[in-house]
RNA sequence: GGGGACGUAGUUCAGUUGGUUAGAACGCUGCCCUGUCACGGCAGAGGCCGCGGGUUCGAGUCCCGUCGUCCCCGCCA
């Protein structure tokens, strides 16, 4: 028999009662977290989002209530009216915040029962994720999940408060908008009113926020859902939340100050102090020192040890002398077993003919002088792991090349291969090197990205970012020259730097932004550099190009992934731990079971027919 | 699109070289217990070994396929 709530009012949350509350009347409501039945004495741990309080039912005190309480089971929802009692010294539980007190029940209302759940929020072993996601409402009752979602709330609030204080307006932009086939695939929404046409869900409010600058709002932000129809990863969901902002008349440094400001507030809200300003690094330097555009600064950078080998050595090892020879250095890994050394090889994914020399000991046996010099250059101590990555003699340039850009594509291949291996090794031996400590936050601004990337399959230069990213003011001349050499891999386009920047934390890209193009003449030069005719540009971005012509102030901004920030703050390995209702690797919501087919009638109304594909 | 890992009770896992009736812990049910807090004791229920096919005298175990979850590459600001 269930009881009604009636006009009963909760006086305290379950996690707040302390010794000072002793003697008070209290009304608690929550879930039965655990029950310990001692016959005539029954303990219930009552749980809500704030914590747990022990309730005592005692036949001596009240036989009827005790009898009623015996019917309680895990996850029943109850209200208890009782008296807060200081526990006897020998029954204090120092492991819980409410452990000095307990609530002696005078009245019990059973507000709801629960079927036996597939797993319990109080379980110590973690249930498999499939079951957790199907019964997400039970999973979310777990203390960790409650903490993660609370952290998410606090972080978002801190950011809102900070940006509001800095004069930013939070302005909403449409979810049903226009498909601009650029970057990722769009999620499409069919229009019923105009059959055969589609809205797209925004990959980011990019053009809207720029138009808000043209509209005179000066400083805009939004904590906004974005959508991308691409394959998922542990750190990638099809819908995700961005802290999106844009401001008028900024230098990159102005944007960075704002970001450093709200991140300081956000991390403080989660209980962490961070130091600003963040260090800055050129994209080229990131590649050369870490083999990646989002360096994890918690582990040592690369050392180019080409000079440690004689040219005969390099020849014997079949190493290309015109490419860097990279020493990856992971501290304190200790002596590797034969199997561990063998395991390194499959971790290596070669780009452009890069090769791995995982057995440094063998190199030391064969080339003792080189090995000693390498150890010295790297600054390695006994027990540190050194792995070499170099360009194969057969691949890459046969003579030194020096085009405009500081890192050549061949070098990039070697650096990138080494960068991926460095991360894989760092991950694998995390327990040994102990460089990944909770609360160690190494922020970094990566700047001066290349404006264009060479696309080998198209054999032409492509925009590395969206085409509204402004080139560096000093590189305008290269841009002009480069326009004429779109299909030349050595084009001056390779050296054009973008006024783009990423904010990176511990090897995770938190956000990405740029100063935008505000001048029509620069914009059309960029389109030409991308091989786009005026007509093509107009067909794709006409409304936006037109807006640019009505007095656009210089402007720029950035967008940061809220989910990733919270994930790092929560110490989680996956975004799914900080998103209340996430999707699986195949983009399925296991709880609501979406996506689903829709009825023939719905399709007809939309003028859509499903084409069956058969093998 | 490609590569890899996993799938056994409600949950977490074990299951030897292919060999009787597939085990443990937690959870669940019943009984006992007045100071536990991962309470304890006794008894009990609970299995399409993901699904389909094959090899074999015999398959949880070997093979093929398929479905699902996870991780990575490709893809993706």
CA of A66 to C1' of B38 (A): 23
pLDDT for A564 beyond 80: yes
- In this predicted structure, the answer to whether residue A74 has a pLDDT above a threshold of 90 is yes
Give the DSSP H/E element, type plus range, for residue A443.
Answer: strand A443-447
Highest mean pLDDT among A179-188, A437-446, A521-530: A437-446
DSSP-assigned states of every residue in A160-218: HHHHHHTTPEE----SSB----SSSPPPEEE-SSSTT-EEE--S--HHHHHHHHHTT--
| Strand B reaches within 7 A of the A203 CB | yes
The answer to whether A464 CB is within 7 Å of strand B is: yes
Per CA to C1' distance, which residue is closest to B32? A39
**CA-to-C1' span, A33 to B39 (A):** 14
Whether residue A255 has pLDDT greater than 70:
yes
Question: What is the nearest nucleotide to A41, using C1' and CA?
Answer: B34
Give the mean model confidence (pLDDT) for residues A550-577: 96
The pLDDT confidence band at residue A614, using thresholds 50, 70 and 90, is very low
Verify if strand B has an atom below 7 Å from the CB of A449. yes
Q: Which residue in the block uniquely carries the two structure tokens 């009505």?
A: A550
Q: Which nucleotide is nearest to A125 (CA to C1')?
A: B12
| Statement: the CB of A60 is under 7 Å from strand B | yes
- Strand A280-282, strand A443-447: pairing: parallel
Say whether the CB atom of A22 is under 7 angstroms from strand B: no
Phi-psi region of A407 (alpha: psi -120 to 50; beta: other; left: phi over 0): beta
Shortest-distance nucleotide from A124 CA to C1': B38
For the ranges A63-67, A315-319, A334-338, the lowest mean pLDDT is seen at: A334-338
Confidence tier at A526 by pLDDT (50, 70, 90): confident
A99 touches strand B (CB under 7 A): yes
Q: Is the CB of A59 under 7 A from strand B?
A: yes
pLDDT digits (tens, 9 = 90+) for A2-16: 999 999 999 999 999
Which of A442-446, A474-478, A580-584 has the weakest average pLDDT? A474-478
Report residues 150-179 of A contacting strand B, contact meaning Cβ closer than 7 Å: none
Q: Is the pLDDT of residue A398 over 60?
A: no
How is residue A295 written in tokens? 């360096």
Q: Tell me how far apart the alpha carbons of residues A323 and A409 are, in angstroms, rounded to a whole number.
A: 11
Higher pLDDT, A462 or A307: A307
pLDDT at A160 over 90: yes
Å between A28 CA and B53 C1'?
Answer: 58
pLDDT band at A392 (very low <50, low <70, confident <90, very high): confident
Say whether the CB atom of A93 is under 7 angstroms from strand B: yes
Q: Find where tokens 């014997």 sit.
A: A316
- Give the closest residue to B12 (Cα–C1′): A125
> Residue range A32-47: average pLDDT?
96
Instruction: Tell whether the model's pLDDT for residue A406 goes beyond 60.
Output: yes
Quote the pTM value.
Answer: 0.92
Binned at pLDDT 50, 70 and 90, residue A181 comes out as low
Which three-class secondary structure state does DSSP give residue A470?
Answer: coil
**In the structure, how far is the CA atom of residue A130 from the C1' atom of nucleotide B17, in angstroms?**
34
- Which residue is nearest to the C1' sugar atom of B40, using CA? A38
User: Could you tell me the distance in Å between the CA of residue A128 and the C1' of nucleotide B19?
Assistant: 33
A485: CB within 7 A of chain B nucleic strand: no
User: What pLDDT shows up at residue A613?
Assistant: 60
In the complex, which nucleotide's C1' lies nearest to the CA atom of residue A94?
B37
Spatial distance from the CA of A128 to the C1' of B50 (Å): 14
Model confidence over A466-514: pLDDT tens digits? 888 999 989 988 888 888 888 887 788 888 899 999 999 999 999 999 9
Q: How far is the CA of A438 from the C1' of B56 (A)?
A: 54
Residue A433 has pLDDT above 90, yes or no: no
Average pLDDT of chain A, as a whole number: 91
| CB of A495 closer than 8 Å to CB of A481 | no
Greater confidence (A593 vs A434) lies with A593
Q: Which of residues 223-242 of A touch strand B (CB under 7 A)?
A: 228, 230-236
Please give the nucleotide, over all strands, whose C1' is closest to the CA of residue A587.
B69
pLDDT beyond 90 at A399: no
More confident residue, A313 or A349: A313
Assign A84 a pLDDT band (cuts: 50, 70, 90). very high
Q: In this complex, which residue's CA is closest to the C1' atom of nucleotide B7?
A: A128
A34 touches strand B (CB under 7 A): yes
Radius of gyration over alpha carbons of chain A, in Å?
30
| Protein residue minimizing CA–C1' distance to B69 | A130
Do residues A422 and A299 touch, judged by C-beta distance below 8 A?
A: yes
Residue A83 dihedral angles phi and psi, to the nearest 5°: -115, 130
**Mean pLDDT in residue range A217-221:** 98
pLDDT of A609 above 50: yes
| Whole-number percent of chain A with pLDDT over 70 | 97
Angle, CA of A529, A532 and A536, to the nearest 5°: 155
Q: Which of chain A's residues 526-565 bind strand B, using a 7 Å CB cutoff?
A: 559
- State the complex-level ipTM: 0.93
CB < 7 Å to strand B — which of 244-273 in chain A? none
The predicted model gives A436-458 an average pLDDT of 86
Q: Looking at residue A415, what DSSP letter applies?
A: H
- The protein footprint on chain B, as nucleotides within 7 A of a CB, is 1, 10-13, 26-29, 32-40, 68-77
A150-162 mean pLDDT:
98
The answer to whether strand B lies under 7 Å from the CB of residue A92 is yes
Q: How confident is the model at residue A536 (pLDDT cuts 50, 70, 90)?
A: confident
| Residue A606 contacts strand B, CB under 7 A | no
Q: Between the CA of residue A74 and those of A63, A121, A495, what are the distances in Å?
A: 22, 10, 65
């Amino acid at each position: 028999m269930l009881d009604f709530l009636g006009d009963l009012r909760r006086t305290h949350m379950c996690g707040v009662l302390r010794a000072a509350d002793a003697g008070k009347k209290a009304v608690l409501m929550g879930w039965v977290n655990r029950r310990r039945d001692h016959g005539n004495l029954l303990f219930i741990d009552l749980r809500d989002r704030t914590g747990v309080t022990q309730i005592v039912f005692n036949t001596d005190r009240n036989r009827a209530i005790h009898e009623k309480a015996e019917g309680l089971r895990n996850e029943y929802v109850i209200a208890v009216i009782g008296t807060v009692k200081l526990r006897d010294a020998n029954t204090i539980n120092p492991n819980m915040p409410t452990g000095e007190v307990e609530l002696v029940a005078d009245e019990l209302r059973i507000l709801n029962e629960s079927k036996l759940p597939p797993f319990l929020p109080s379980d110590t072993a973690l249930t498999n994720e499939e079951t957790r996601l199907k019964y997400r409402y039970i999973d979310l009752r777990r203390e960790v999940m409650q903490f993660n979602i609370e952290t998410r709330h606090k972080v978002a609030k801190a950011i809102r408060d900070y940006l509001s204080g800095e004069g930013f307006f939070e302005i909403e932009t449409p979810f049903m908008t226009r498909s601009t086939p650029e970057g990722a695939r769009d999620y499409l929404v069919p229009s019923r009113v105009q059959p055969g046409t589609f809205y797209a869900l925004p990959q980011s409010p990019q053009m809207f926020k720029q138009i808000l600058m043209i509209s005179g709002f000066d400083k805009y932000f939004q904590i906004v859902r974005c959508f991308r129809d691409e394959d998922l990863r542990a750190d990638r969901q099809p819908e995700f939340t961005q802290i999106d902002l844009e401001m008028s008349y900024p230098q990159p440094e102005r944007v960075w100050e704002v970001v450093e400001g709200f991140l300081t507030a956000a991390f403080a809200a989660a209980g962490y102090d961070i130091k600003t300003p963040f260090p800055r690094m050129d994209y080229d330097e990131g590649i050369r020192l870490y083999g990646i555009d989002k360096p994890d600064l918690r582990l040592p950078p690369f050392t180019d040890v080409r000079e440690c080998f004689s040219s005969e050595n390099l020849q014997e090892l079949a190493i290309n002398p015109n490419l860097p020879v990279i020493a990856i250095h992971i501290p304190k890994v200790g002596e590797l077993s034969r199997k561990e050394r063998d395991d390194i090889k499959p971790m290596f994914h070669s780009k452009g003919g890069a090769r791995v020399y995982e057995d440094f000991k063998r190199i030391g046996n064969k080339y003792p002088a080189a090995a000693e010099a390498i150890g010295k250059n790297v600054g390695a101590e006994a027990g540190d792991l050194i792995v070499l990555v170099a360009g194969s003699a057969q691949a890459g340039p046969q003579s030194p090349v020096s085009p405009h850009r500081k890192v050549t594509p061949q070098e990039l291949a070697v650096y990138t291969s080494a960068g991926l291996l460095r991360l894989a090794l760092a991950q694998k031996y995390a327990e040994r090197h102990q460089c990944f400590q909770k609360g160690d936050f190494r922020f970094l601004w990566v700047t001066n990205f290349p404006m264009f990337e060479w696309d080998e399959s198209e054999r032409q230069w492509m925009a590395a970012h969206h085409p509204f990213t402004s080139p560096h003011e000093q590189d305008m001349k290269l841009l002009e020259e480069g326009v004429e050499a779109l299909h030349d891999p050595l084009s001056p386009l390779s050296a054009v730097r973008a006024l783009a920047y990423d904010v990176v934390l511990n090897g995770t890209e938190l956000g990405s932004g740029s100063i935008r193009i505000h001048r029509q003449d620069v914009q059309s030069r960029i389109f030409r550099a991308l091989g786009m005719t005026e007509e093509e540009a107009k067909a794709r971005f006409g409304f936006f190009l037109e807006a640019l012509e009505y007095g656009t102030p210089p402007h720029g901004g950035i967008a940061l992934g809220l989910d990733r920030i919270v994930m790092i703050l929560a110490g989680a390995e996956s975004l799914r731990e900080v998103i209340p209702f996430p999707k699986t690797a195949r983009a399925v919501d296991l709880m609501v079971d979406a996506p689903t087919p829709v009825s023939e009638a719905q399709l007809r109304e939309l003028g859509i027919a499903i084409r069956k594909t058969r093998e």
